[in-house]
Chain A
Amino acid sequence: MNLIVIGVNHQTAPVGVREQFAISEARLPEAVKCLASQPGIEEAMIVSTCNRVELVARANGSNVDLQACLQKLYGFDPQPFRKYLYEYRERDAIRHVFRVTSSLDSMVVGEPQILGQVKEAYATARAVGAVNSQLDALLSRAFAVAKRVRTETAIAMSAVSIASVAVDLAKKIFGNLEGKSVYLVGAGKMCELAARHLAAHGAKKIYVGNRTYERAAALAAKFNGEAIVFDQLYDTVDRADIVITSTGAPHTIFRKEHGEKFLSRRRNRPMFFIDIAVPRDVDPEMNKLDGIFVYDIDDLQQVVASHMSDRRVEADRAEAIVQLEVDKFLARLQTLDVVPTIVSLQEHLETVRQAEIDRVRGRLGALTPEQEMAVEALSRGIINKIMHTPITTLKSAARESSESTTVIDLVRKLFNLRDVRKAEADEETVSEKTGAQR
């Protein structure tokens, strides 16, 4: 398949480096197009979230250097960042995509947002025509695997999302959140999720400030909150006890001098900044002010890390599922190619024909070579006539990638071809095993 994944994530690179590679939502379609148009690349997609940037590509040969494409994509020399990058190929790449989508590679293992983020990235890549047959198959499988992991393990149930970590921290500062106010800077999904958590724990007033006022108003309406014109940001932020920032701004929005002003206006009542934006919106220097607490996405990870060990067991089970799915997918990839199916179909019918001839040979008695040839020709003719339609259908289905798996499966089932049965048998034994573990 010649699948390649390169990327940076929260484990390999600090937020400062991830900031360099992050691609904003607005730039994403252009970037995907750019990547897909690189020489040797057939299909591509890019997942860019605050915790990771993944470039997924299918090449037309095995010696395509995706890292070389980085320079074109980002306009800077990726050489100094090489140590933060990981690269996976083929089997490992499939496994990585499955793990990411199943939230096994997440900062908070089991958190649900990543699946949505990958789906969005996939939709974007599809929309610009950067994805077709094979990545399509990979991604739809990945989504199915993610679903399986969620339903078959308890990993998602015990998942501590970033939002709930934020709630815990806010409680450490403010005691309970009853009557506290929250300010969302940027109207992103993560912001919304965190705000929902805080509101569920008693936070009363929600303010939303966003560059596009309409989006702020729409989000504020969901919480019965107040939308604020972005120009008034610095005059209004100190109203809130908890500030969640997630803008796509390339530079920090809040710096130390702003923090000092907020504190004096708030008579030193503490403020909690949760910065989930990459690049960061809040200058880390602000954390040095008495009464201001700044947590960026990496800091949240540290807190989360302590919860990790509890879920180790569930995560191991999830890893086993992923492993199994990778094998299945690879097997499926091979059958994607119709030739083996045609061959096994021919072999199958040939054995049937031979068996039938052998069976009736006794009753026919001794045959002349001419008669022998006539029987041979007759049986072969019937087989070939019967095989003609399935083979042409298979061949045309191979050209229509979306149908090919269905048709191959159908043909294999109709003719009871051996590979399918073998795969199913394997699957049954494994699911029995995981069932026993549970």
Chain B
Amino acid sequence: MPLIWLRVAVAFYAVGLVYSLLLLGKRGALLAKVVEPAVGFGLIFHFVSLVEYTVLVGRLSWASINYSESLLAFVAMVVFFIFFVGYRSTSLGIVIFPIVFLLTFASAVGQHPVTFASPALRSSWIFVHVVMIFTGYAGLFLSFGASLLYLMQERALKAKSSDGLLSKLPSLQTIDDIGYNSLLFGFPFMTFGLIAGSVLAIEKFGPLFFADPKILLSFIMWIVYMLLLYTRWNSGWRGRRAALLATFAFVIALGVWAANSLSRVHRFPPL
């Protein structure tokens, strides 16, 4: 039973996830009315699931990774609601909702791993996972490139030089839009790509799948990705600071690639 409640909570939290993606794309208004009750219901079902699980087991089971994930997500949501009551602002949710969704999702899937009906289904699932992750990467790389161009154009404008470069690069606003929109475009792919990957990894390695270096790094990169979007969305970070953060995300992305040799999951067969 607790798993059913948790799944219901995950479904509600999914509304929160979609809301944060929409908000980053400045389309938050579409879900603004629904998101508060949705995550509120999510929290209630989440609470029920946690209590029932505790009662069922007869004690707080810290050692269970599924339980810990679920509890951590719950605490994060409670903190969010405290801030929400205090400030009447959902903007913190941009960061919280995706993390909470991912944690509860992992917890729910971990308690009852997906089994693929056929190898063909499994390999097409892998295909979807890879395509999504790569699209997410593409968005990140494009944004990284754009932030470098932004820096160049900004330098040129500040230096007040009127050489050829200044006249050929697009305007700062355009470069900034490209950078932000490519991040925005890549983020959902990265998110759903990771979710798809998690399902696969849990199926194969159980709830401790994230201990794999490549997967762990991927999650870190995802969080930096989200921070990039959040700082741009919330404080309008541009230029140097945005470029630094994008460089950071880029370096982690390179690390994720390099981590193949350390990974149990992503080992490519020798040629």
> Is the Cβ of A303 less than 8 Å from the Cβ of B236?
no
Chain A CB count within 10 A is highest, among B161, B172, B237, B240, for B172
The verdict on A268 contacting B160 (CB below 8 Å), with A171-B171, A172-B171, A174-B172 known, is no
> Is the Cβ of B236 less than 8 Å from the Cβ of A290?
no
Task: List the A side residues contacting B238 at CB < 8 Å.
Answer: 268, 270, 290-291
Q: Is the interface of B mostly helix, strand, loop or mixed?
A: helix
A residues 149-177 in Cβ contact with B at 8 Å: 169, 171-175
A370 to chain B, nearest CB (A): 90
> Is the Cβ of B239 less than 8 Å from the Cβ of A174?
no
B152 to chain A, nearest CB (A): 12
A residues 9-57 in Cβ contact with B at 8 Å: none
Quick one: closest B residue to A301, CB to CB? B160
The verdict on A290 contacting B241 (CB below 8 Å), with A295-B160, A302-B160 known, is yes
Residue in B171, B234, B240 whose CB lies within 8 Å of A175: B171
Q: Is B157's beta carbon under 8 Å from chain A?
A: yes
The verdict on A172 contacting B236 (CB below 8 Å), with A295-B160, A299-B160, A306-B162 known, is no
B residues 173-228 in Cβ contact with A at 8 Å: 173-174, 177
Residue in A174, A267, A268, A306 whose CB lies within 8 Å of B171: A174
> Is the Cβ of A268 less than 8 Å from the Cβ of B235?
yes
Contact with A along B67-88 (1 / 0, CB 8 A): 0000000000000000000000
Q: Is A266's beta carbon under 8 Å from chain B?
A: yes
A303 to B167, CA, bound (A): 11
Inter-chain contact total with CB atoms closer than 8 Å: 52
> Is the Cβ of A293 less than 8 Å from the Cβ of B173?
no
> Is the Cβ of A293 less than 8 Å from the Cβ of B236?
no
A266 to B139, CA, bound (A): 27
A330 to B236, CA, bound (A): 64
Q: Is A379's beta carbon under 8 Å from chain B?
A: no
> Is the Cβ of B157 less than 8 Å from the Cβ of A172?
yes
Task: List the A side residues contacting B174 at CB < 8 Å.
Answer: 175
Task: List the A side residues contacting B234 at CB < 8 Å.
Answer: 267
Quick one: closest A residue to B234, CB to CB? A267
Contact with B along A276-293 (1 / 0, CB 8 A): 000000000001101101
> Is the Cβ of B171 less than 8 Å from the Cβ of A290?
no
A345 to chain B, nearest CB (A): 60
Interface residues of B (CB under 8 A from A): 153-154, 157-158, 160-162, 166, 170-174, 177, 234-241
